[in-house]
Amino acid sequence: MRQRSTTLPRSLYAALRKEAPHSIQLNMQEPCTTIASYNIHKCVGTDGRFDPARTARVIAEIDPDIIAIQEADERLGDRQGLLDLAALKRETGLVPLHAADGGRSHGWHGNLILARSGAVVDVEPVRLPGLEPRGALIVDLELKGVSMRVIAAHLGLLRRSRSQQTAALLGATQTVLRPTVLLGDFNEWRVQTRSSLLSLLPHFGPVHAVLPSFPSRLPLLALDRILARPPQLIASLAVHKTPLSRVASDHLPVVAQLNLASLRHGSGAALRVGEGALAPAGKPW
């Protein structure tokens, strides 16, 4: 019998009937690394409360090796960072991979990547095209013996802008041979021919692995995604749905288990973990 492909009406219907999956097993290889994406909604929960400590508790629940956070800063004014990064480091061991240039921001256009271990080779903040101010962080790092790239992004609300932004991110990876994980809030709810993510095929996947993450109280739309090149790097995907995560933000975190074992090789020159951020080896940030 021919298997029906996922469509937006089918995924919405399944979510409304509480039949939408919370996890997807993609291969049977043993995972060794947890990576997550979480739009924290500026630490404002579905109850209207601003509570950064609650957001931090959700991150601790996930227990990631790497996590990409969106809306980590205020949107206007001096774009002040909203998390207590020192407390988060004490509680989880996670530190930023990028230090914002001046000001009080934590991220780049609200994007923040935290990691518990590893060595940073390079960090590149990228301005993305489109009508809204949007950006991405590209981090090259050594993690558990693997040289890899992590790209965290928060794409725009307009489909045309998202198409331009995915093309820009794809262009940034074309000359890079190392394994790459692309993750964030992509604001794309379409899952077939009109999806702005289809331009990522055949380079990244699994584009059609749909796990509803928004809104957190009754997830209907798969706005938050984790993709990889090669796609088999991702062993499984899941939505982190707990009583705390359902109230802490209007998005649920998405979590992927990565299998890095088959990709391990020697590491080169890198930057080591410093105080509060990953910094040049032997030097303070």
Q: Which sequence spans correspond to the domains of the chain?
A: 17-117+180-260
Task: Give mean pLDDT in consecutive 10-residue pieces for the chain, a chain of 285 residues.
Answer: 49 53 68 91 97 97 97 81 94 88 79 89 91 92 90 94 92 84 93 80 84 94 94 93 97 94 52 40 29
* The predicted structure's pLDDT at residue 7: 55
The single-letter DSSP state of residue 41 is G
The single-letter DSSP state of residue 201 is T
Angstrom CA distances, 117 to 100, 155, 237, stand at 20, 27, 21
* The predicted structure's pLDDT at residue 90: 94
* The predicted structure's pLDDT at residue 255: 97
Cα–Cα distance measured from residue 113 to residue 30, given in angstroms and rounded to the nearest whole number: 24
Cα–Cα distance measured from residue 250 to residue 243, given in angstroms and rounded to the nearest whole number: 13
Q: What is the CA radius of gyration of the chain?
A: 18
Closest to 71 in 3D by CA, of 32, 107, 25: 107
Domain boundaries 17-117+180-260, CATH class: alpha beta
* The predicted structure's pLDDT at residue 30: 65
* The predicted structure's pLDDT at residue 244: 98
* The predicted structure's pLDDT at residue 14: 56
